[in-house]
Structure 1
Amino acid sequence: MLVLFTGQLQAQYDVVLQLKWQHQFQFAGYYMALENGYYREKGINVTIIAANPDDVDTVPKVLSGQADFGIANSGLLLHRLAGEQLVAMAAIFQSSPYCWLVKGDSTIRSVADFKGKRVGFFNREESAELFSMLAQNDISQSDLIPETTKVSLQNWIDGDVDVLPAYVSNEPFTLKQKNIDYRLLCPKRYGLNTYSDVLFTRQDLIDQNPQMVLDFYLASIKGWKDAINHPQKVIDIIKSQYQSKKSRAHLAFEAQELLEFIHPEQAKLGQMSSSRWRAIAMMHGAGKQKIDEHLNGFIYKPQKLASSRFSWMHIIAIMIILISLPSYYRLLFKHKKSKSQLETTLN
């Protein structure tokens, strides 16, 4: 009866999840959570919105309320340090899939060799760790020949650009198909081990609907666990329901590459630590005072709300039992009295 009662009171929420790119395996867990009904079970109607390639910044959309949840990279922290009340809920990728791309026969062997080279640039916050690699090697923009328009893979293939930002599951697949040799210079190799594909929301949404946010988080993590175990099913969903432009072969390559960044065998799915976020903040050049001022509350604490919810459920159950006890004993006493009277009559 309690289950029916709580089920009838379950609220229905319509929420928007804003992706930071177009539909692909990168967002597999959310597709699985939606497909397997995990959001629906929690009373949440989720719409997943792909990014416009010309406008991939998810933060303004979440801050404005255009979206309720978003996906971002470690650059999300820069917004928090600027005073924007954003909360990191889960770091799906435990390290960044963004790297610098150079030709296989290039004389560029390290970031230090970027000086005087034509380097493609795009949104700094989208790949802040790549810019940190430059800063770590004391390379400023004046040391480079920055290209802000010639940033396509074809420009790089044609030799218009020497160095290009790349995503390990995208450009490398195309280059392998074309038998073009390449090398990747990645942040982790330089000791810049940043989080990526961070699920986030606004603090005011947590304040207004803490249970809904918790349910969305739990359903999403459950979806990601399914996606890890059933990548082929995700690919089928992406092709049939989201009209991805990527081929099945590309999606399979993407799955193989990106699942390594989740590290499910080494870490709790989506886990984050304040010490690592502090290190990332320092990597971005933030001072200790600013970090101390803004970092507290940046990491979502689902277990705190979950334990609180658990306690309240117990309290409600105990109250129902206590309220029901008098009626139970009256019925029991009445039953025993009737039984005694029947036995007396029979005797």
Structure 2
Amino acid sequence: MPSLLGHRSPLRWLLLSALLITAPLSAANEPELERVTLQLAWYHQFQFAGYYAAKQRGYFREAGFEVEIRHGGHDVYGRPIDPVEDVVFGRADFGVSRSDLLLYHSQGLPVVVLANIMQRSPLVFLTLEEHGFTRLEEVGERPISVTLPDVDARLSAETLASFHRAGLDLERLNNRAPSWALDDLLDGTTQLMPGYLTDAPYFLEAFGAEPVTITPESYGIDFYGDLLFTRAALIEERPERVEAFQDAALRGWAYALDNIEEVAELITQHYPTRNALYDIHFLRHEAEKLRGLMQPELIEIGYINPIRWESIAEVYVELGMIEHYDLEGFLYRPPAPASTDFKRLVRWALGGGILLLLVIGLASYLLMINRQLRHEVARRQTAEDSLRELAEKDGLTGVDNRRLFEERLQQCVAHARRHHQPLTLILFDVDHFKQVNDCHGHLAGDQVLVEIAQITRPLLRTDDHFARYGGEEFAVLLPGTDHAEALQVAKRIWQVNRDHRVTSNTGPICYSLSLGVASLDERDQDPHDLVRRADERLYQAKHQGRDRYFGAAGYATST
């Protein structure tokens, strides 16, 4: 044994020496990871799953980053953390924010959107079934707590725009700054508060309450949800690093949506959530809601639509929050890969002096780029078409949504006044719709709304505009139609729905409508004056017994 060790000893020392010599060389070849910080907009939950997945799966490391992911709730002093402030002042390199980022950009802050993660905003207004209202117009003097001017520094443009479109006088509202605590809603301290579709209704139902959600989209306000952003200086100094980070983050999001259970477990094990309620069951629920807001089956994750951003900017201008906007420099444009490849090709060709190969290579390269461009144009056109459909049509009934109705209303009022033509609006909703849901189930209630749209559409002209106005309420805008003609249309809508029966698993469903009819008046100062009068007459029809149409003072019928 000693002799055997003696024979092996030189070999052992030789191998050890080689290892000692080559180890530093191997370490030198290993790229050093760049440390960067990602500042989230809230506490850890599935809302940020893509970033956790990108770190866990090694996508960030492959891109050359060691990423610190910081939660965005409150700091040690109880102050809310502002991702925009942290990124702009260099305390973080990347951040998560929402569409209000455009306000900061318009004020001169050098922020740039890298990717739109949520194609739809999760913000909703929450109330409870027991409070007895389903629209902002019905708030009246009820105690509410929403982010509006003079009560909260964290002004929400979505909130302000929704209340503006609802025609509410902000100075007359019984409003105080929101605590975002669901207990305030449950104990009646407030009857309306902001919340997120991904979590608040889930917790309210868990507490035994019956939540009612009112969406900004019902008022034509369609903003993005979470987005990934950085500061302009980082892009100017290191564009290739920003692109690498964006790509790794989007890979993480694709993985998270395809592996919900695994990533939910990852969050519970490595990322402390706000409290015990945010458990694995909630994370699964949140993931499914998030998928609906991201719509990865229809839209490429992270897709930035400049036209959509222009629409958001126009809302800010309408509200007087900004005077003008310039999206140049605000929406990220990755560096063109063609530039680097082309320079390499030129250097190689010049060094070798092979002009023919350069010409052939360049022609092939341009052909490849041309094909890629055609493919990209086709892909973007498909995405634009999908976005336009989502932005303009109600997902359940297929008729126009409230956002498109608001646009049509503005256009039709302007046209009617310019050409001195009549314009009439019919608003109608389903009587006792809650009873339909309670007796037959919500799926049957949805089917009622679908069939209302199906049997009402054939009664209208191609120039008429038919929209789902919100919940069980619909709107019909009749250009070039005077009041008497509109009453006949209302009668036909009322009659055909009154005679209709909807088939369900619990038996046929009978229902009736209440309708309000109003025509454009020269005294109308705003298009929404027309909506308010139609709405008042709809409620007059309800107060007189429902199942009727009401067109003017003293005119109602149910026969």
TM-score normalised over the length of structure 1: 0.84
- The equivalent residue for 2:65 is 44
1:215 aligns with 2:244: yes
- The equivalent residue for 1:72 is 97
- The equivalent residue for 2:111 is 86
- The equivalent residue for 2:296 is 264
- The equivalent residue for 1:55 is 80
SS in 1 for 2:317: coil
Are the counterparts in 2 of residues 278 and 291 from structure 1 also a CA contact under 8 Å?
no
The aligned runs of 1:82-161 (5 Å cut-off) are: 82-122=107-147, 125=154, 127-148=156-177, 151-161=180-190
Q: Give distance in 1, aligned partners of 2:225 and 2:46.
A: 15
1:27 aligns with 2:48: yes
Structure 2 regions of 5+ residues with no counterpart?
A: 1-27, 355-559
Are the counterparts in 2 of residues 89 and 217 from structure 1 also a CA contact under 8 Å?
yes
Q: Give distance in 2, aligned partners of 1:194 and 1:149.
A: 21
How much does 1:250 deviate?
0.8
SS in 1 for 2:159: helix
SS in 2 for 1:223: helix
Cα distance change of structure 1 residues 208 and 264 upon mapping to structure 2, 3 Å threshold: same
- The equivalent residue for 2:340 is 312
Cα distance change of structure 1 residues 126 and 206 upon mapping to structure 2, 3 Å threshold: farther
Are the counterparts in 2 of residues 91 and 270 from structure 1 also a CA contact under 8 Å?
yes
Q: Give distance in 1, aligned partners of 2:178 and 2:218.
A: 28
Aligned with 2:224 (options 195, 207, 232)? 195
1:168 aligns with 2:201: no
Cα distance change of structure 1 residues 92 and 164 upon mapping to structure 2, 3 Å threshold: same
Q: Give distance in 2, aligned partners of 1:33 and 1:126.
A: 32
Query: In structure 1, what residue type is equivalent to 2:57?
Result: N
The count of corresponding residues between Structure 1 and Structure 2 is: 315
How much does 1:272 deviate?
1.8
Cα distance change of structure 1 residues 149 and 281 upon mapping to structure 2, 3 Å threshold: closer
- The equivalent residue for 2:540 is none
Higher relative contact order (CA 8 A, sep 6+): 1
The aligned runs of 1:264-343 (5 Å cut-off) are: 264-285=296-317, 290-292=323-325, 294-302=326-334, 305=335, 307-308=336-337, 310-313=338-341, 315-316=343-344, 319=347
Q: Give distance in 2, aligned partners of 1:238 and 1:288.
A: 37
Are the counterparts in 2 of residues 34 and 40 from structure 1 also a CA contact under 8 Å?
yes
Q: Give distance in 2, aligned partners of 1:150 and 1:239.
A: 26
Cα distance change of structure 1 residues 322 and 240 upon mapping to structure 2, 3 Å threshold: farther
How much does 1:227 deviate?
0.8
How much does 1:289 deviate?
9.3
How much does 1:172 deviate?
1.2
Are the counterparts in 1 of residues 178 and 193 from structure 2 also a CA contact under 8 Å?
no
Cα distance change of structure 1 residues 50 and 212 upon mapping to structure 2, 3 Å threshold: same
Which deviates the most, 163-172 or 15-24? 163-172
Q: Give distance in 1, aligned partners of 2:153 and 2:218.
A: 20
RMSD of aligned C-alpha atoms?
2.5
Deviations 1:313-344 (A, max 9, x none): 45436746875899xxxxxxxxxxxxxxxxxx
Cα distance change of structure 1 residues 8 and 291 upon mapping to structure 2, 3 Å threshold: farther
Are the counterparts in 2 of residues 76 and 125 from structure 1 also a CA contact under 8 Å?
no
Query: In structure 1, what residue type is equivalent to 2:134?
Result: R
Q: Give distance in 2, aligned partners of 1:290 and 1:10.
A: 47
- The equivalent residue for 2:25 is none
1:242 aligns with 2:253: no
Q: Give distance in 2, aligned partners of 1:249 and 1:289.
A: 42
Are the counterparts in 2 of residues 73 and 127 from structure 1 also a CA contact under 8 Å?
no
Query: In structure 2, what residue type is equivalent to 1:192?
Result: I
How much does 1:237 deviate?
0.8
Which deviates the most, 52-61 or 100-109? 52-61
Cα distance change of structure 1 residues 59 and 33 upon mapping to structure 2, 3 Å threshold: same
Query: In structure 2, what residue type is equivalent to 1:21?
Result: W
Cα distance change of structure 1 residues 17 and 99 upon mapping to structure 2, 3 Å threshold: same
How much does 1:264 deviate?
0.7
Which deviates the most, 118-127 or 222-231? 118-127
Are the counterparts in 2 of residues 150 and 160 from structure 1 also a CA contact under 8 Å?
no
- The equivalent residue for 2:456 is none
Q: Give distance in 1, aligned partners of 2:140 and 2:98.
A: 26
Are the counterparts in 2 of residues 75 and 125 from structure 1 also a CA contact under 8 Å?
no
1:181 aligns with 2:210: yes
Q: Give distance in 1, aligned partners of 2:255 and 2:156.
A: 28
Deviations 1:184-209 (A, max 9, x none): 00112222111110111111110011
How much does 1:300 deviate?
0.4
Are the counterparts in 2 of residues 111 and 185 from structure 1 also a CA contact under 8 Å?
yes
Cα distance change of structure 1 residues 38 and 160 upon mapping to structure 2, 3 Å threshold: same
